[in-house]
Amino acid sequence: MSWIVRFQPASARAVSGGLLDDRPALVSRIWDLGANAIVEQPATDATASAALIAGFDDPASAHRAVRMAADWGYSATVDPVDTPWHSDAPSQVTISTIRGPVALTLIAGPTFGHGSHPTTELALELLSRSVNLDRPPGRVLDLGTGSGVLAIAAHHLGAKSITAIDLDPAAVDTAKANFEANGVVARCSTVAAEDLVGESGEFDTVLINVLVSAHERLAPSVGRLLARRGRLIVSGFLEHQQTRVINAYQRARPTLRELTTVSRDEWIGSLLGQPPGYPPPESEPATADAG
């Protein structure tokens, strides 16, 4: 059983391209409440207004979403449906690599990560850009792996090793199935990033697509786990939240700089890394990896 919540603006609202102007913030909030999928339905003509439709696995979360809607000036209805709303159908995601495009087959199952959410696409683009720029991913940590999509892309882009974690056991099961289907060898476990025990500087690339509040919470652990010349690919936040995210990681690792930023549908993704020439060659540790 799934619960479908339909949000519609309680009054006339600004719309661009058929979609509500204020939807990104509401979409973030709905993911926060535990939605397993969100679809934006554009206004089709002058009479049908735009709507957001979200699926939930449990009725309590669906009803919390309905109560929250009023605070945002939306009305909401909830309906139970017999079949899970997320899709088990495999989706195709294409990533660009230095050897050309590679198609991945993914089953998102009950988790986030069918590959075509803008936040995932941004992270995939930044990963390709980082590699095409100058360096292979090295030892990769995919933090909040979901379906495993980013880890699988990292594998195709030449990752030396992959560690994938998620606090949601259903995500870990799905990621493991996808790793097997795509021939990826990865350490994959159910663990909250806050509890991840790892050596300092263990990872050359950390991939992390979570909400702004989670970025802020996880930045100290990520800063510790990142190698000295490591790179961080962050997405899952909106333009007005970018400074908060970058500040959080710079507090954890003051040498990090914003190397590239990309955007899609109001979502932002950034590649953070060390400025060129850091660290000076004489201070580079003998174990430094990945470029």
Under the rule (CB under 6 A), what is the footprint of ligand SAM? Answer: 111-113, 119-120, 123, 144-146, 149-150, 165-168, 171, 192-194, 209-210, 214, 218, 236
Comparison of 56 and 229: residue with beta carbon closer to ligand SAM: 56
Closest approach of Cβ 95 to ligand SAM, in Å? Answer: 12
Does residue 106 contact residue 75 with C-beta atoms inside 8 Å?
no
Comparison of 102 and 167: residue with beta carbon closer to ligand SAM: 167
Closest approach of Cβ 175 to ligand SAM, in Å? Answer: 9
Please give the Cα distance from 254 to 192 (Å, whole number).
24
Comparison of 159 and 210: residue with beta carbon closer to ligand SAM: 210
Closest approach of Cβ 210 to ligand SAM, in Å? Answer: 5
Closest approach of Cβ 278 to ligand SAM, in Å? Answer: 28
Comparison of 96 and 209: residue with beta carbon closer to ligand SAM: 209
Please give the Cα distance from 13 to 61 (Å, whole number).
26
Least Cα distance to 140 among 262, 209, 233, 211 occurs for: 233
In the bound state, the residue with its beta carbon closest to ligand SAM is 144
What one-character-per-residue DSSP string does 150-184 give? HHHHHHHTT-SEEEEEES-HHHHHHHHHHHHHTT-
Encoded tokens for 23: 């939807």
Cβ neighbours of residue 284 under 8 Å, at least 6 residues apart? 228, 229
Question: DSSP strand E in 1-131: where?
Answer: 2-9, 15-16, 19-20, 37-41, 51-56, 74-81, 91-97, 100-106
Closest approach of Cβ 207 to ligand SAM, in Å? Answer: 7
Q: How far out from the chain centre does Cα 237 lie? A: 9
Comparison of 131 and 149: residue with beta carbon closer to ligand SAM: 149
Closest approach of Cβ 290 to ligand SAM, in Å? Answer: 21
Comparison of 218 and 225: residue with beta carbon closer to ligand SAM: 218
Please give the Cα distance from 31 to 33 (Å, whole number).
5
Helix axis angle, 169-181 relative to 149-156, nearest 10°?
A: 30
Closest approach of Cβ 124 to ligand SAM, in Å? Answer: 8
Partnered with residue 76 across adjacent β-strands are 7
Closest approach of Cβ 137 to ligand SAM, in Å? Answer: 14
The number of beta carbons lying within 10 Å of the beta carbon of residue 200 is 10
Comparison of 50 and 222: residue with beta carbon closer to ligand SAM: 222
Comparison of 30 and 229: residue with beta carbon closer to ligand SAM: 30
